[in-house]
Amino acid sequence: MARKRLPDSLMWSSGVVVTIFAAIYTCACFTERHCSTKPRHSEMKKVGMRVVQALEAYRESHGAYPATLELAGINASCGDNCALQYEVMHGGMKYRMYLGDIIDDGFSLVYDSESGWYFDS
């Protein structure tokens, strides 16, 4: 018994449909994994507020901000997927803190002790 061959147009369109569904599924899976591992700015700000409160308490008792967060005993971890940097300026009278990374996260959430929170992108 001989098998009938499907028309080329039907085989081509079936292949296109399968390819499109595979591409959509792959993108959805990548996006879900990518988004779930990246910190959201609200989560970063929560961590940042905890650090800001600890820094303000330190300044109240010592008269200046610490040279490093470690010197003040501040745990500055914001998770595996979040970068946090702290820099003190003007002899400990001012500081700036950066949460996130512009290259990796697409933005950086910044806290300046004089002007407060802002985004850098």
Which residue is listed with tokens 């990374």?
101
What CATH number was assigned to the domain covering residues 41-120?
3.30.1300.70
Supply the pLDDT for residue 56.
96
- What average pLDDT does the chain have? 76
Query: DSSP string spanning 38-65?
Result: SPPHHHHHHHHHHHHHHHHHHHHHHSS-
pTM value?
0.63
Domain coordinates in residue numbering, the chain: 9-38, 41-120
Instruction: Tell me the pLDDT tens digit for each residue of 61-92.
Output: 999 999 999 998 988 776 666 788 899 999 99
Closest by alpha carbon to 86, among 121, 61, 50, 62?
50
